[in-house]
Amino acid sequence: MSTDTDTTRQRIQTEVQRALQRGFKGIEYVASAGPAVGRTPRDVVHRRGTLALYHYRPMVDEIYRVPLLMVMALTNRGYIFDLSPGQSLVEYLLQRGYDVFVIDWNPPRPDEAGLRLEDYTQDFIPDCIARVQQISGEPDLNLVGYCMGGLLSTIYLALHPKTPVRNFAAFTTPIDFSKMTLFHKWADRKHFDVDRLIDTTGNAPASMIFSAFDMLRPADRGAGLIKLLDNLWDDEYVKSYRMFGRWGADILPLPGELFRQVTKELMWNNSLLNNELVIGGQRAELGNIVLPVLHVMAEHDHIVPFDAGRPLIDNIGSSDKEQVVLKGGHVSLVAGANAVKRMWPKLDDWLGERST
Amino acid sequence: MIKPATLDPLAHWRDLVTQVEKGVNQFAGKAMASDGFSSSVNRLTWGPLVAKKLAADLAAGVAQRLNVPTRADIVALGERLQTIEDRLIEVTYMLGRMNGDAAAGTVGAAPRPRRTRKPPAAKVAVPEAKTVAAPKRKPRARKAPR
């Protein structure tokens, strides 16, 4: 009986302390800027309009021979790979002995509204690969692509069978666009006049892309705020909430022509899956990809569902290929506490033996 | 043994928030998959975009009449500056590398890491990872290029 009373008293004390902390921390939250992100030391190696190539400074004395090039999704900022010390995939890879380069994207300028898949897969990615080769002095490299970065990398590899890329790791990469559930529904040609949109706006506005992501889970923002209030006493929770919140809201516009092409070729015609996607006069056939491939997908991914990503491994010509489904969502797969113990070790395990 | 239900009202409240969140997302997901919703949302998105474009055109017209730079002019100027900055970044990086290369081997210069690392012998066990085997493919009939 006395134990029950003690427990209840302890519980009440804890809740009172937390309530007080919520008050103090709430004021601190409003008054302070969010935590700094993307702080791992790096050099901007190359910049051309929307394209930026970073080279991160090695953290160990001995690194793997084969450098690693990561391609970020076009809709978001690359600092999801480098949130904060201890929560940075880049930092983790550097500490594990990789020579890390990242392709990040700046908001496309109005004069870049004409950029198409051709520019990304036949110019930007090959250009960055050549620079990585030159800087590292190595003839080959490994490629990692996240979401739409994985899609661009896949199209690049399908177009370049004689690539210097030795291994490819994709995270949550969509291939079958008919399985992109709500996105596919909203972009239905019956209702969505992509030509009128792009002819009017030039680039696809970031606000529209943000709303589309937001609408996939309409209750998340409200519930997230309630959970934040509940956890305001917990510094780690608040830090994580702010970092992910900032990243989630930091959406980039998409080049208009690319948006038009993705909508028509991929959303409407599912051309990549059907081996009908023609880029610069050349057909991007998934069967052309014969190098070792790892595809990591998230079990609760609401943006790229499992069925949308599965055909990557099913349709490529590689004999050394592996598909892994990990617990988590589209973002928590690559960043945050779950990624640290799930995806990162898997990636290191797969890449390490292929990086010598 | 069955775990007794907790009497903690805050725990109930947290459960309720999670359940409501899941429920709303599920319900909205179904509702938003309808043709009617897609049609409405496209119409609703369209209005503000057109209004924004008209406002921008109007502002550009006024600026032109007043003989002051329009937003497009400023953006174009920014683009030119950005191009110069891009080239500067490259030149700075190359100079840094050349300097580093020249200094390599001299006393006090930071040596580049050796590219001789080997993977650890023991493999890491990843919790809760499911490897999904790819089904055997039937050869896909090739279509004529478009």
Pair B64, B74 in one domain:
no
Phi-psi region of A303 (alpha: psi -120 to 50; beta: other; left: phi over 0): alpha
What is the tens place of the pLDDT at every residue in A99-124? 999 999 999 988 899 999 999 999 99
Overall number of domains in chain B: 2
Provide the token pair at B144: 């004529």
Residue B84 lies in a domain: yes
Pair B60, B74 in one domain:
no
CA distance A147 to A209: 15
ipTM rounded to 2 decimals: 0.74
pLDDT of residue A228: 85
Positions in chain A whose pLDDT score sits under 50? none
Best probe of the A interface among B27, B39, B87, B126, by most A CBs < 10 A, is B126
Using an 8 Å Cβ cutoff, are B34 and A227 in contact?
no
Torsions phi, psi for B67 (to 5 deg): 60, 40
State the smallest CA–CA distance between residue B128 and chain A in angstroms.
6
Contact A349 B130 (CB under 8 A): no
Q: How many A-B residue pairs are in contact by the CB < 8 A criterion?
A: 177
Residue B28 lies in a domain: yes
> The pTM is what?
0.83
CA distance A312 to A173: 8
Which of residues 68 through 127 in chain B touch A, CB cutoff 8 A? 72, 75-76, 78-79, 82-83, 85-86, 89-90, 93, 96-97, 112-120, 123-124, 126-127
Pair B44, B26 in one domain:
yes
Nearest to A352 among B10, B21, B119 (CB): B119
Domain that holds residue B39: 13-68
Pair B54, B20 in one domain:
yes
Residue B100 lies in a domain: yes
Residue B79 lies in a domain: yes
CA distance A158 to A288: 5
pLDDT digit of tens for each residue in chain B (146 aa)? Answer: 445 555 667 778 888 888 888 888 888 888 888 888 888 877 777 777 778 777 877 888 888 888 888 877 887 788 788 878 878 887 888 887 777 655 444 333 456 789 999 988 766 566 666 666 555 554 444 444 44
Pair B17, B64 in one domain:
yes
Using an 8 Å Cβ cutoff, are A147 and A171 in contact?
yes
Residues of chain A contacting residue B85, judged by C-beta atoms under 8 Å apart: 47
Which amino acid appears at position A187 of this protein? A
Provide the token pair at A255: 């080049």
- What does the longest C-alpha to C-alpha distance in chain B come to? 82
Residue B3 lies in a domain: no
Beta-carbon neighbour count of residue B142 at 10 Å? 10
Which of residues 173 through 192 in chain A touch B, CB cutoff 8 A? 181-182, 185-186, 188, 190-192
Q: Which of A338, A117, A107, A91 is nearest to A204 (CA)?
A: A107
CA distance B87 to B119: 38
Using an 8 Å Cβ cutoff, are A52 and B89 in contact?
no
Pair B42, B74 in one domain:
no
CA distance A355 to B18: 43
Q: Which domain-ending residue is among B22, B42, B68? A: B68
CA distance B56 to B66: 15
In CATH, the architecture of A42-183+270-354 is 3-Layer(aba) Sandwich (3.40)
pLDDT of residue A132: 96
Residues of chain A contacting residue B86, judged by C-beta atoms under 8 Å apart: 47-49
Contact A185 B33 (CB under 8 A): yes
